[in-house]
Amino acid sequence: MPTIETEEHRSLRQAVSALGKRHGRAYDREQLWSEAAKLGYLGVNLPEAYGGGGGGIAELSIVLEELGAAGAPLLMMIVSPAICGTVIARFGTESQKRDWLPALADGTRTMAFGITEPDAGSNSHRISTTARRDGADWLLTGRKVFVSGVDIADATLVVGRTEDSRTGRLKPCLFIVPRDAPGFGRRHIEMELNAQEKQFELTLDDVRLPAEALVGDEDAGLLQLFAGLNPERIMTAAFAIGMGRYALSQAITYAKDRTVWNTPIGAHQAIAHPLAQAHIDLELARLMMQKAAYLYDEGDDVAAGEAANMAKYAAGEACVKAVDQAVHTLGGNGLTREFGIASLITAARVARIAPVSREMILNYVSHQTLGLPKSY
């Protein structure tokens, strides 16, 4: 894989950075989403044949990182074009591709993603949302929690399980559930997190779906699921790196200007060295993110899975450290609304927790990479 970005990627970074800086930390989500869509950034990873940019997760992660670095991240980019758009592009029917991909690319429609359940958490094998056949239709029943942006999404890509007629075992499948489907309810989850996108609990009470709501092959199972989860991890890394860069830039500007004795506080190693370390950690996390994106775009799903998990872990840790050091550098000012960093203290933890905890990533690496035995 290339270790130095191409001129095309550098140009994309500069253009998106300029867009993010025009909107700034006080950005309006709808306005930024609309403008990013018109400029072709939201669908940069989707096929050209369906109105996208023909790129991959590498390009989409650049867009999210640079918007985050400008203080204007768009969380739904992780969900709508990255997870849902990728899954539909790879496994959807021709009709599903025509219906959804152009609209996801131009921002006129968005899609949420529902996988987490109250009693399943990180254990996808315990997902209890089930789909059973009823004639030519499907009936979907279950609950989901911590689903982002359901109120602004036209549909939700729901992970359910169907019964294998040969073995009786349940296998994961993906369904497109329209927001106005009868039996499909939502409840807003109040969060301490200061974010423009809201979180919801979903209830599916015998939601009737036509046969064409199923995405892909019902026998493909985990293959289709992880086709969406690996981009989710890569994009979460981009989200975290962008946030960390924003916090770090605020701290650097402050450390250059703030003078308490005879020199700016940034001249003191107790301030300068932790900021330098934070920068190094963010750069290292970005390299792993770029590796993961490259492997995924090249079609190496197995290697991409390992790299995506590592990238998400590294970026989450680097983001938390960068935000913490930024707040510490500003002292009391770091907690004021004027400087806009305090709200990142909670937001930075998201990359450690979601979409999978750092502990589960360490489990993955210890089992899958190192070959150590499982404790569960």
Q: Looking at 153, 183, 215, which one is the last position of a domain?
A: 215
Domain contains 25: yes
Reading the block at residue 111, the tokens are 């899609």
CB-count exposure of residue 11 (10 Å: 0-12, 13-18, 19+): exposed
Tell me, yes or no, whether 60 and 159 share the same domain: no
Q: What is the CATH number of the domain that holds 130?
A: 2.40.110.10
Nearest-Å Rg of the Cα atoms of the chain is 21
- Residue 256: per-residue pLDDT: 98
pLDDT score at 224: 81
Q: Which CATH number is 249's domain given?
A: 1.20.140.10
Q: Is residue 283 part of a domain?
A: yes
Confirm whether 1 is domain-assigned.
Answer: no
Task: Report the pLDDT value the prediction gives residue 220, as an integer from 0 to 100.
Answer: 66
Q: Do 38 and 97 sit in the same domain of this protein?
A: yes
**In the chain, which stretches have pLDDT less than 50?**
none
Domain extent, residue 49, equals 7-109
pLDDT on residue 167: 59
Q: Residue 64: which of 237, 283, 247 has the closest Cα?
A: 237
Q: Which two tokens stand for residue 209?
A: 């779906």
pTM of the model: 0.95
Q: Is 40 within 8 Å of 53 (Cβ atoms)?
A: yes
Dump pLDDT digits (tens) for 286-339.
999 999 999 999 999 999 999 999 999 999 999 999 999 999 999 999 999 999
Which pLDDT does position 10 carry in this prediction? 97
Quick count: other Cβ atoms within 10 Å of Cβ 191? 12
243 shares its domain with 364: yes
Answer yes or no: do 289 and 308 share one domain.
Answer: yes
- The answer to whether residues 255 and 270 belong to one domain is yes
Supply angle C-alpha 123, 197, 51, rounded to 5: 90
User: Which residue intervals of the chain are DSSP H helices?
Assistant: 7-23, 29-38, 57-69, 76-77, 86-91, 94-106, 222-257, 269-297, 301-330, 343-353, 358-364
